[in-house]
Amino acid sequence: MTGRWLRERIVLFLGLVVLLYTFVPIAVVILMSFNDPASRNVYRFDGFTLDNWANPCVDPSMCSALGRSVEIGLLATLAATVLGTLAAFALVRHDFVGRSATNLLIFLPMAAPEIVMGSSLLALFVAAGFSGQLGFWTILIAHIMFCLSFVVVTVRARLAGMDDNLEQAAMDLYATPAQTFWRVTFPLVFPGILGAALLSFSLSFDDFIITNLNAGQTTTFPMYVWGVAQRGVPMQVNVIGTLMFAISIVIVVSGELNNRRRTRSLTR
């Protein structure tokens, strides 16, 4: 009896243990954001304080790096989402020569090791004589490049899984192609585009390997963390880490709730 009960649940239990394990470092980050460190060199929990949350920008270079990462993330997301969405529409809705070569070109950046992509871009910039101008723009170019494929794949999946009956109906009811697109097609694809944009932002915001090779003297947030990791991490870094976690949880959970509400109103 108990043997059977256990057998039914053992896999779920083990799965939950693995899931719990993925949260251990996050719990440490949250805990350390309230840490009152005794010395900068010893990284351990010494006492509780709210100071880190009250004064996140004690090290101004951290906050300027953070601002730069947000700026690059937003611009890269905007560009990659627009270019990637256009390409996804072309791939699903239009016919053209060289489809398999195009698919390969879109797949490769997702599979190539970051260190290879980063070093090849650097090789190009150096060969083109831009080794002195590495910085904001070269980082942005790189980020748009590696976000693009993920946008194409995400939006393409949404488009391909979409029934075009609704669009047919709109056309049958004398909607112009533009009306059909903006009132029917676009709203249906939008969740995919939004998901792609969120993915792009988090990829861009978090990238270190490619950015570090092409940044010159510019510092993004991950590069700041890398720098302080060698000489003592200010606890405010954990405040940012906690905030990132909280914001992403809010975004994903509200998206999930929205989904549920929509399915419920559709099935009623």
Q: Which stretch binds another protein (CB under 8 A): 51-59, 158-166, 178-186, 189-197?
A: 158-166
Q: Of residues 121-150, which lie at the interface with another protein (CB under 8 A)?
A: 121-124, 126-127, 131, 141-142, 144-145, 148-149
**Exposure class string for 56-69: b at 16+ Cβ within 10 A, else e:** beeeeebbebbebb
CA-CA distance, 94 to 87, in Å (whole number)?
10
**Exposure class string for 161-187: b at 16+ Cβ within 10 A, else e:** eeeeeebeebeeeebeeeebbeebbee
Distances (CA, A) of 170 to 48, 156, 163, 191: 61, 22, 13, 20
Q: Which stretch binds another protein (CB under 8 A): 47-55, 70-78, 161-169, 186-194?
A: 161-169
Q: Of residues 16-55, which lie at the interface with another protein (CB under 8 A)?
A: 16, 18-19, 21-26, 28-29, 32, 43-44
Q: Which stretch binds another protein (CB under 8 A): 46-54, 56-64, 182-190, 250-258?
A: 250-258
The angle at the Cα of 60, spanning 57 to 66, to the nearest 5 degrees, equals 80
Looking at the Cβ atoms of 179 and 258, the one nearer to another protein is: 258
What is the end-to-end Cα distance of the chain in Å, rounded? Answer: 40
Looking at the Cβ atoms of 43 and 136, the one nearer to another protein is: 43
Q: Of residues 164-183, which lie at the interface with another protein (CB under 8 A)?
A: 164-165, 168
Candidate residues 53, 74, 78, 89; the one interacting with another protein per rule CB under 8 A: 89
Binding mask 205-244 for another protein (x = CB under 8 A): xx-xx--xx-------xx--xx--x---x---xx-xxx-x
Candidate residues 106, 155, 184, 193; the one interacting with another protein per rule CB under 8 A: 106
Looking at the Cβ atoms of 58 and 108, the one nearer to another protein is: 108
Q: CB 220 → another protein: shortest distance, Å? A: 11
46 within 8 A of 38, measured Cβ to Cβ: yes
Burial of 78 (0-12, 13-18, 19+ CB in 10 A): middle
Looking at the Cβ atoms of 58 and 252, the one nearer to another protein is: 252
